[in-house]
């Protein structure tokens, strides 16, 4: 059994209602820091993966081109046999 979004939001609201204002400020600050850290890590991973993505795209390009040519030749052959 897993917790859905609505259940998680309900738990979060209840926790926030039970916290003291000082604790809520600290919680919000830490949550902001966590989100910022996650965003920075995501950007670092994307930046590190960019050269790999470019290399894969470059390596796959000839295969895509060959597949397109094959598809066209099959289509032409299929059209000739229907006539």
How high is the pLDDT of residue 20? 82
The string of pLDDT tens digits covering residues 27-74 is 889 989 999 999 999 999 999 999 999 999 999 999 999 999 999 888
In 2-38, which positions are buried (b, 16+ CB within 10 angstroms) versus exposed (e)? eeeeeeeeeeeeeeeeeeeeeeeeeeeeeeeeeeeee
Q: In whole angstroms, give the CA distance from residue 70 to residue 24.
A: 62
Q: In whole angstroms, give the CA distance from residue 30 to residue 27.
A: 5
How high is the pLDDT of residue 5? 87
Decide: 16 and 24 in contact? Cβ < 8 Å. Answer: yes
In whole angstroms, how large is the CA radius of gyration of the chain?
27
């Amino acid at each position: 059994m897993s917790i859905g979004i609505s259940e998680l939001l309900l738990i979060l609201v209840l926790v926030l209602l039970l916290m003291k204002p000082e604790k809520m400020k600290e919680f919000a600050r830490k949550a902001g820091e966590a989100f910022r850290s996650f965003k920075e890590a995501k950007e670092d991973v994307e930046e590190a993966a960019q050269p790999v993505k470019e290399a894969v795209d470059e390596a796959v390009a000839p295969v895509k081109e060959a597949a397109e040519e094959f598809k066209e030749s099959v289509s032409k052959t299929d059209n000739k046999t229907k006539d």
